[in-house]
Amino acid sequence: MEEKTMEACCCAGRKKERGGKEYRDLMNRLSRIEGQIRGIRNMLEQDAYCIDILNQVSAANAALNSFTKLILADHIRTCVAQDVQEGNSEKLDELVKTLQKLMK
């Protein structure tokens, strides 16, 4: 796994460098979500009961939503806050559009 060490927000150029712990924590969450999805596939392949599959899908959705909330909160605290402090509302407009997509 690649090691990340930079702590500052580097949103310019549409990239965001995350600190080592934040990066590792997010990657670990994604790995668990990937495992959940593989588990759902295995359940389907093994003809698992519909409700059992649906319960696992619900758990995977909740995990992905939690991941989304972490990324969103960090984006607001860093990239958006930095832009607002600099008098630029571009990232606010982008955030509003993204929230509209997430809430569909």
Dist. CA 59–CA 55, nearest whole Å: 6
Q: Find all residues with CB under 8 Å of 63, minimum gap 6, and list them.
A: 29, 32, 33, 36
What sign does the dihedral 71-76-82-87 (CA atoms) show?
positive
Contact 1, 27 (CB under 8 A): yes
Q: Is the pLDDT of residue 7 over 50?
A: no
pLDDT per position as a tens digit, 48-62: 999 999 999 999 999
**Domains of the chain and CATH, by start:** 20-102 (1.20.58.1000)
pTM for the full model? Answer: 0.79
pLDDT per position as a tens digit, 79-104: 899 988 998 888 899 999 999 999 98
The pLDDT, as a whole number, for residue 16 is: 82
